[in-house]
Chains A and B, each alone.
Chain A
Amino acid sequence: MQVLSSLKVAFIKWVSRLYPMAKRNLYQFHGGIFPQYHKELSLSHPLKRGIIPKTLVLPLRQHLGIRTEAKVKVGDRVLKNQCIADTEKGLSAPIHAPTSGTVVAIEPRYKPHPSGLKKLSIIIETDGLDESIENVLAVDGAHPDSPVALKEIVHQAGIVGMGGAGFPTFAKLPEKRNTVKALLVNGAECEPFITCDDMLMQTHADEIVKGAQIVGHALGVEQIICGIEDNKQKAIQSFSKACADTEIQVHPVMTVYPMGGQTQLIQELLGIEVPSEHHAIDVGVLMMNVATLRAIYHAVTFGNPLISRFVTISGLGLEEPFNAEALLGTSFLELAEMAKPKQPIDYPLVQGGPLMGTALHHNNVPIIKTTNCVLANPPKPVETVMPCIRCGECMDACPINLLPQQLYWHSRNHEFDQVEKLKVFDCIECGCCSFVCPSHIPLVQYYRHAKSTIKDIRQKEAMAELAQKRHEFKLDRIAREKAEREARIKAKKAAVKQKTAQKPQAKSSAAAAAAAKAAALKAKKPSATTEGQPVLSARDKAIAAAKKRTQKAKPSTGTESKAPSDKQPDARQKAMEAARQRRNQAKTAEDSTDKAAPKDSKSAQAAAKRAAAVAAAKKRAKKTTEKQESNDDT
């Protein structure tokens, strides 16, 4: 078997000399591209350390999650490693002072983000003394035995995923031991130009290995595998040396973009696919970037927070590209100027690599925890975008095996339901499709637009639903209140009537007699008038009806009133009947209130249900807005 597979590899390698894309059969995931790497540019110059710029700009959010709150005031003197911003409100990572100095301002500043917006930042004027607080996290240097203990340290150290995603690392760690079967160390670094992980592995392999051991120990991991692309031979050597006496395996992997993607590297190293809409942790895999592991080592062993990182400053526009261990908050432009630009940097710098990086609106932005590369590539003439010829290059290059060409077609036509059906949300935006498109169509931009539009539509739908629920709730409440009011009034009326009925008969009989007399008089009057005027006026009719109602209480009045009613017996009878009924109703007011009570409780139940639904909807809406905010801000 071993022989066969090595023969197959040798054959494919031979074929790939004639047909380069045959190389796609040498790894586990679909597609992939082979760009020009230009890695030698920054590797040919020595690593720079100890750069302390005059000012450091530290955005209050350098991670995925919510913004931290400044714990210092303008004018405060801060020491290296001192925690200057934190929050308890939600997912976040605290921020520490990278060196000693004075806080000169807390104001919105530009940060490396595609939005190009200013975000609240702490500005420190450094004093060059680099005075520090040692072991600020107060650790004893022992490896934590439980995931929770490790999570605590990692959280306090402000460590986030340093490969680019910036997800706070503590939140990625599971709470229980043994949930993670395999810890994968991501040293693939597949983006062109970037060499900071390579440099880190060459210079600090032992620290990364110790970091991996700490995590493995705390989580009870069975297997630790490190994947390094085979174009980093020096890194593989130094890493293998550092792993010599440990259980960690070093796996050189094929040099292909996007090997460093989480899903891709898991496929390559373990041969398993992470199911859609699941995380790696669901299949028992935890992946960590080499830089993150080193930061964990420093936090656990020395109690040092994350205040600096390896950054590549490279690009075709620079004379002397280099790698640096830069303090967080150092300006992009300052670092680029140190690399001797070939031409003035009047073009946008890029944070990250050429395939997934972010072009900057403003070049004077700080290095943050997720910045792995400052790229200075002078702009090239823009190619005309031609129509899609459906050649399928994009499909062959897609590591997720999507149909980019059809996604593009439907995105362009705003057929977003189709776009969703074609699984646009599984797109990792790696840029392979755009890279190979002979028509130079900016495919990824179309997918980004489609994704955000679909999210927008969903949010609007949720809002509409919420509004509808609110409206229904309101109508319901009005109806309920009306019913309650009516019931109350009826009850009151009934009570009054009962009272009047029970009052001493003497008074009432006198009054009744008087009334009867008057009624008789009045009754005569209409009967007299009817002779002259055959039709009763409406008013008279009403009066007669009212009279009848009052007289009906006593049986005697009935006979009295019957006389004038002879003329229109049917109508009168009906009116009387109706009046009786009304009266009965009033009498049984108690019954009616009893009936109303269960109805009320029913509606109250419904109202409670609705209220709960509304609350849930509100919560959802809040969540989505929060999410969006966090997306905006990262």
Chain B
Amino acid sequence: MMAPISSPFTHNNNSVRKVMLNVQLAALPALFTHIYFFGFGITIQWTLAMFTLIAVETLMLKLRSRPVWPYLTDFSGLITVTGLVFCIPPEAPWWIIVTGITFAIIFGKHLYGGLGYNPFNPAMLGFAFLLISFPYEMTQWTLPTQVSGHFLSFMDSFNLIFTGHIHTIPLDQITGATPLDEVKTALSTGVPVPVTLEGESFNRFRIPYGWAAVNIAFFIGGIWMLMSRSIRWQYPAGFLITMIILSATFNWFDPENYAPVRFHLLTGGLMLAAFFIITDPVTSSTTPLGRFIYASGIAVLVYVIRNWGGFPEGIAFAVLIMNMFVPFIDQYTQPRVVGYRK
């Protein structure tokens, strides 16, 4: 007879794998929206990222003498891939994503001890690395079809990613600055925000083509994750509420220099961050109040970097900075244990 273990002997059959797969499922609407507006580039990047992930993760697990199969199939790497793939330009050269994933997996994850032990969000670490190392490649975004008038076919994207040029369309017609960049550049040349929002990158609701839809798709995926308990509500709630309060306040006092709430919520990777990036439990605060503070802190930093920082998008840096405060936040936000004084 086998040696008995101690109680409990039953389980709700949840697993790390199921949680991670749920997150993947939630990213699908955003993926399809992305394809619709920006072409098939992202699928190629995704595939590249997957192969890199499998290769690097297998290698690292072997080097660390860990069993490969259980750790490769926990699908935690998929979250890193999702986080990074949506952040890089869809037609960026192939080595961008390969370098980014390699850096994220090695330096962001395995050198700290693998799943569960990394203090920094691997995807954001990879992204920050790419943004600092390859600023030109990282800011050449494919314009949405509605703006450029071109829809890149799969082969076009393939050629662009692997060779850097295609014969049919000149490159500068299909790539350009992101709306965040556009607003920032315009401000620096004296053009007020409301005028920029009248531009051709924005639809009649003054929200950017493509970007807004992708953000809404992320929001829908996020709601699904909340309902399936893959993520905790404190993260998106804290993040979005703080973002809304900040952008509304500044926009109220100075609409010429500060973009409205809807712009901030629906550009860049805001919803991606709110539901897919900052919700990474490993690198974030664990107490209920701590989660809220952590998310709010990121929102403040994102807003600061977007408006006064040197980079157009500040999510990666905001997340990495707040990652450093996690032990501190956890220490001071411990909930009251039952039977102790209120």
Contact = CB atoms under 8 A, between A and B. Distances in A.
The answer to whether A and B come from one shared complex is yes
B287 interface: yes
B310 interface: no
A151 B303 CA distance: 69
B339 A347 contact: no
B4 A361 contact: yes
A389 B74 CA distance: 11
Contacts of A395: 286-288, 335
A620 interface: no
A387 B61 CA distance: 14
Given A348-B2, A387-B115, A444-B6, A273 B286 contact: no
B1 A391 contact: no
B2 A401 contact: no
B16 interface: yes
Q: How large is the interface on B (under 10, 10 to 19, 20 to 34, 35 or more residues)?
A: 35 or more
B340 to A, nearest CB: 6
Nearest to A114: B6
Interface string A25-64: 0000110010110000000000000000000000000000
Contact of A359 (B7, B10, B286, B335): B7
Q: Is the interface of A mostly helix, strand, loop or mixed?
A: loop
Interface string A374-410: 0001010001101111111101000111110110000
A19 B7 contact: no
Contact of B15 (A18, A267, A377, A383): A383
A276 B337 contact: yes
Interface string B2-37: 111111111110111011000000000000000000
A388 B337 contact: no
A379 B116 contact: no
Given A273-B339, A386-B74, A401-B338, A348 B10 contact: no
A541 B25 CA distance: 107
A389 B4 contact: no
Contacts of B6: 114, 358-359, 442, 444-445, 448
Nearest to A345: B1
Interface string A1-30: 000000000000000001101000000011
B8 A435 contact: yes
Interface in A343-363: 346-348, 350, 352, 354-361, 363
B232 interface: yes
Q: Is the interface of B mostly helix, strand, loop or mixed?
A: loop
Contacts of B3: 361
B114 interface: yes
Contacts of B282: 389-390
Contacts of B339: 263, 273-278, 400, 426
A440 interface: yes
- Give the interface centre of B1, B226, B227, B336 by most chain A CB atoms within 10 Å: B1
A174 interface: no
A387 B70 contact: no
Interface in A573-592: none
B299 to A, nearest CB: 20
B338 A263 contact: yes
B334 interface: yes
B286 A406 contact: yes
B117 interface: yes
B131 to A, nearest CB: 27
Given A390-B282, A423-B337, A435-B12, A356 B7 contact: yes
Given A387-B117, A391-B19, A436-B12, A400 B338 contact: yes
Interface of A: 18-19, 21, 29-30, 33, 35-36, 114, 192, 263, 267, 273-278, 346-348, 350, 352, 354-361, 363, 377, 379, 383-384, 386-393, 395, 399-403, 405-406, 422-423, 426, 429, 431, 434-440, 442, 444-445, 448
Given A392-B232, A439-B116, 16 more contacts: A274-B339, A275-B339, A275-B340, A278-B339, A348-B2, A355-B8, A357-B9, A363-B1, A379-B2, A386-B115, A386-B116, A389-B16, A393-B14, A402-B337, A435-B10, A440-B15
28 contacts: A29-B338, A36-B10, A192-B10, A273-B339, A274-B339, A276-B337, A355-B8, A359-B4, A359-B6, A379-B2, A383-B11, A383-B15, A386-B16, A386-B115, A390-B116, A390-B281, A392-B232, A392-B286, A392-B291, A399-B338, A401-B337, A403-B287, A405-B286, A436-B14, A438-B18, A439-B15, A442-B6, A444-B6
Interface of B: 1-12, 14-16, 18-19, 70, 74, 76, 114-117, 226-227, 229, 232, 281-282, 284, 286-288, 291, 330, 334-341
